[in-house]
Each structure stands twice: as C-alpha cells, then as structure tokens.
C-alpha cells in the first residue's frame, strides 16, 4: 500500500474526524514533519484537507474523479478489487479485461474508464458512457461453478448494484430480470456477463474427456451505472426509458463512494453465488419488479409468454405458461404484460 492510499484509508476510517499527525506518521512510517508534504500532494490531486495544530488533519472533500488509490482506500473486499486500474478513455472495459485475462493470474481485477467509445450492453447494443458521469467498469472472475450456473453471476451482480445504490443514494432501486437495475421504472444500470474461457477439471490422473463440462469458466462482468448523467446525455432512442441517480434523487452523487460500495457488495455476493445462492435468490426476490408478473420474453424469433414464478438454482427465470408447463428462461428481452 502506497502512502497516498494509506493516508486516504485513515481519513475515510475517521469519517470526517481529525486524524492525529502522530498517528499518520506511524501509519506512513515517516517523520511527523513530513506529513504536511504528503497532505500537500493529496491537495494537488483535488482533495480538501483541514489542518489543525493540535488535532492533526481531516478530510473535508474529494475530487469528482475516479482514482485507483482512492477507491482502494475505501474498499475492504477480499477478492474483487485485488487490482484496480482506471483509464481516462477506452473502447470498452470488457475488451480491456478480456485482453488482460490472457496473462492475468487469479481473479478480482477491476478496470474502470471515465469514458468508453464503444461501450456495449446485451446483444451488442450500444451503451452510452459520457465522460465523468457514471461508473463504467469490468471485473475478471473465475468462479468455481459449472458454465450452466454462470447466470448466478448476473443475479448476484444485480443485487449488489441495487443494494449499493439504495445505500448511497437513498433511492428505491429495483431489479428487472435479467440484468437491469431501475429506479421509478427507469433503467439506471445494466450488467453484461461474457464468458471468455473455460477450464475443465478431470479426475486426478485421468485425461480430460472431450465432453467434460466446463467447471471453471473465466468471466468478464461488465457493469454500467448512470450516476450523474443528465437528460441531454442520453441518446434519443433510450431517453424515455433511461435515467440516472442524479436525475432521480435531485442531487449529484459521489461516484467513488458508490464504486467502493458496489465492489464491496460484489465481493460479498460473488462468494455467496458459489456457496449459498439461496440467500441471493431471497434478496433478489425482495427487490424484483419481475416476479409475479405476466411476461412476454423474446429470444430472437421465439416469443414465450408466461407468469414469472421464481429463479432456479442456476439463476434462470422460471415461467409458468398458460398450459401449466414451466419454461426455464436464461435470457431475452422482457416485456411486462400485466401484474
């Protein structure tokens, strides 16, 4: 941990209270007289810090920009955020993580971009990513799950985003299956899960059979959250169905705070998705705008109508059709017909 991250972590833990100079000096392993230099470097980055001759220093404000050290200082996760990178601009954070996954050991890498030129959603749709207005990021995951259970990751991520949004903004964030987080019926966040590789796990001392199922899929989890977007930031084709946390709350949101909250929640729910998915299903059900509704799901040319019953153990949506049969749905465009 570098000195800037360590100092910021101390300030965030103090929650607006003063941190004694001696405590900072001990934490940074530097003479007390050099703490003022460290503070000045943070101030040059845009932080507002108050100095007191007796009480020490306290953080009054942070700049509205994403910085890896700042997010890391706020974060207490175990896996998600093991490495954090922030780009000013990239084509797509999913593409960056996909490329890095070829040489990146382990999991938990997170890549943020202040803007994307080719951000995308499901089915290759364009995702507008205006500079400095939202959270556009991707996470490298290698879950201990069969490929058939990969939809669990989408469900876990949707709960993490909804919970974090509710906590930081106070808004009544809800989940629309399969991958949207909404506020007041308008989409404020979307989730895209892409499988980029697969490891097979044979029995000890035996070759891998050709039909051996994927045991350890490599996944890129992409998340886009419209945080401080304004109406004019949305393309005309989505302006009527999309919104942002600022629009819905009437106030600007702290993007770095939300980023840390989402990563921390992702860390918690990612672990649960692999070991105790029932707890996620229960929370998803409480936040869902989909359950109990009569839906039309379109998958290409196929159209399925039914009553949304529940999620199964893999994260698929179970629809009861008019003939009583249960249809297992893994994805598609959803239209609510009636409650």
**Distance (Å, whole) CA 153 – CA 270:** 7
Specify whether 263 is located in the same domain as 185: yes
Poorest-pLDDT segment among 111-115, 179-183, 274-278, 292-296: 292-296
Q: What is the mean pLDDT of the chain?
A: 90
Domain boundary among 61, 77, 106: 61
Specify whether 11 is located in the same domain as 83: no
**Distance (Å, whole) CA 339 – CA 336:** 8
- Does the structure show a pLDDT above 90 at 205? no
DSSP code, position 228 = S
Q: Which domain holds residue 319?
A: 294-338
Model confidence at 80, in pLDDT bands (50, 70, 90)? very high
Specify whether 175 is located in the same domain as 311: no
Specify whether 215 is located in the same domain as 323: no
**DSSP calls for 17-58:** S-B-HHHHHHHHTS-GGGHHHHHHHHHHTT-EEEEETTTEEE
Specify whether 101 is located in the same domain as 248: yes
Here the tokens at position 78 are: 């175990």
Higher per-residue confidence, 178 vs 213: 178
CA atoms within 13 A on the CB side of 254: 17
Domain boundary among 46, 61, 76: 61
Domain boundary among 15, 40, 61: 61
**DSSP calls for 167-209:** HHH---EEEETTTEEEETTEEEEEEEEEEEEEE--PPTTSPPP
Specify whether 38 is located in the same domain as 78: no
**pLDDT exceeding 70 applies to what percent of the chain?**
91
- Does the structure show a pLDDT above 90 at 331? no
Number of compact structural domains in the chain: 3
Element (H, E) at 13: helix 3-14
Specify whether 52 is located in the same domain as 85: no
Specify whether 228 is located in the same domain as 310: no
Q: Which residue has the tokens 């869902």?
A: 288
Supply the CATH number for residue 167's domain.
3.30.930.10
- Predicted pLDDT of residue 55: 97
Specify whether 146 is located in the same domain as 205: yes
Here the tokens at position 112 are: 């943020």
* Residues whose CB is less than 8 angstroms from the CB of residue 29 and which lie 6 or more positions away in sequence, other chains included: none
Model confidence at 128, in pLDDT bands (50, 70, 90)? confident
Higher per-residue confidence, 237 vs 200: 237
Specify whether 8 is located in the same domain as 47: yes
Specify whether 81 is located in the same domain as 46: no
Specify whether 220 is located in the same domain as 302: no
């Amino acid at each position: 941990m570098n000195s800037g991250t360590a100092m910021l972590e101390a300030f965030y833990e103090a929650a607006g209270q003063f941190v004694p100079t001696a405590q900072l000096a001990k934490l940074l392993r530097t003479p007390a007289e050099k703490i003022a230099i460290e503070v000045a470097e943070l101030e040059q980055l845009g932080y507002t810090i108050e100095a007191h001759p007796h009480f020490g220093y306290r953080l009054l404000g942070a700049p509205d920009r994403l910085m890896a050290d700042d997010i890391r200082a706020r974060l207490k996760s175990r896996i998600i955020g093991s490495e954090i990178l922030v780009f000013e601009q990239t084509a797509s954070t999913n593409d960056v993580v996909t490329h890095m996954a070829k040489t990146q050991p382990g999991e938990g890498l997170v890549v943020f971009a202040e803007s994307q030129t080719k951000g995308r959603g499901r089915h290759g749709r364009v995702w507008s990513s205006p500079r400095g207005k939202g959270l556009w990021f991707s996470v490298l995951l290698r879950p201990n799950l069969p490929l058939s259970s990969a939809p669990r990751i989408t469900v876990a991520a949707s709960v993490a985003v909804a919970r974090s949004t509710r906590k930081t903004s106070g808004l009544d964030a809800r989940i629309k299956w399969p991958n949207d987080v909404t506020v007041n019926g308008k989409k404020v966040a979307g989730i895209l899960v892409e499988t980029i590789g697969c490891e097979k796990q044979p029995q000890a001392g035996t070759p891998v059979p050709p039909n051996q199922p994927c045991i350890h899929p490599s996944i890129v989890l992409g998340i886009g959250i419209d945080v401080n977007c304004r109406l004019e930031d949305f393309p005309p084709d989505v302006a009527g169905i999309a919104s942002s946390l600022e629009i819905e709350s009437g106030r600007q949101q702290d993007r770095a705070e939300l980023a840390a909250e989402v990563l921390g929640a992702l860390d918690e729910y990612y672990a649960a998705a692999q070991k105790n998915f029932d707890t996620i299903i229960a929370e998803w059900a409480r936040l869902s705008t989909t359950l109990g509704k009569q839906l039309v799901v379109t998958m290409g040319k196929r159209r399925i109508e039914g009553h949304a019953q529940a999620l199964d153990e893999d994260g698929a949506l179970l629809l009861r059709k008019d003939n009583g049969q249960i249809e297992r749905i893994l994805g598609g465009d959803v239209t609510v017909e009636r409650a």
